[in-house]
């Protein structure tokens, strides 16, 4: 299977969101990654529902929504109505993680769990069979353009082992500092999907950059 690419709209030109979404529509991108930050769980604030709904009007590919917020459960249904096809919550933000996963799946969409760089993979042992996606953070969440944390490669390999051990069908996604230098290492370790923001949108030809990442 070719690597799935989910460009992060956090790095797009906010004054030209429609243009950048339409560029992604015509590119080899598979999903559109939308980072939702509340200024509490992470030290930054990003998109709200009106902006996401505006993106969804123009998007022709699934919205891959990454919730970096406290108490995500109260907003799940609203994000689904705003167009989310994948919702990923953070392990660190969900005291009743199994219930949160089931809540997401009740809407017929993909459910994912993200792990911060310091959070070990084995903590997903009891829910991995329920998951559609595991998101390995390869930077500390909150800001785009950060430097890749190399230990993420080992975490991807550890996640792959856990998935195989538990006969889970979960995909492995990696988010943070992904570029042409580490993409192939991540895929070799077991990554199925790569999130790339600054590396895509700051490149001379974003569509070509996406196509190159897809061949990783």
175 catalytic per annotation: yes
Judge contact between 214 and 2, C-beta under 8 A: yes
**CB-based contacts of 25: which residues, under 8 Å, 6+ apart?**
58, 59, 60, 61
**Is 30 one of the catalytic residues?**
no
Catalytic residue selected from 30, 35, 64, 192: 35
The residue from 20, 132, 175, 192 that is catalytic is: 175
Which 3 state secondary structure label does DSSP give 119? coil
Task: Enter the tokens of residue 191.
Answer: 């990554």
Q: Distance between CA atoms of 164 and 215, rounded to whole angstroms?
A: 24
Residue 124: both structure tokens together: 């997903």
Long-range contacts of 12-17 (CB under 8 A, 24+ apart): 12/201, 13/201, 17/51, 17/54, 17/55
Q: Which residues are catalytic?
A: 35, 175
């Amino acid at each position: 299977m070719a690597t799935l690419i989910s460009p992060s709209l956090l790095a797009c030109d906010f004054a030209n969101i429609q243009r950048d979404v339409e560029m992604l529509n015509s590119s080899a991108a598979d999903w559109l990654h939308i980072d939702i930050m509340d200024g509490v769980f992470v030290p930054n604030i990003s998109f709200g529902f009106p902006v996401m709904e505006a993106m969804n009007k123009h998007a022709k590919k699934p919205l891959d929504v990454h919730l970096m917020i406290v108490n995500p459960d109260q907003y799940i249904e609203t994000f689904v109505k705003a167009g989310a096809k994948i919702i990923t919550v953070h392990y660190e933000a969900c005291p009743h993680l199994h219930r949160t996963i089931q809540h997401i799946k009740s809407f017929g969409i993909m459910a994912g769990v993200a792990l911060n760089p310091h959070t070990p993979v084995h903590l997903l042992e009891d829910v991995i069979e329920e998951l559609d996606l595991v998101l390995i953070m390869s930077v500390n969440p909150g800001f785009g353009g950060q430097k890749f944390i190399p230990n993420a490669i080992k975490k991807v390999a550890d996640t792959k082992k856990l998935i195989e051990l538990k006969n889970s069908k979960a995909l492995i996604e990696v988010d943070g500092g992904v570029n042409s230098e580490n993409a192939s290492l991540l895929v070799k370790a077991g990554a199925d999907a790569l999130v790339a923001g600054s590396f895509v949108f700051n490149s001379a030809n974003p569509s070509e950059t996406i196509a190159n990442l897809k061949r990783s």
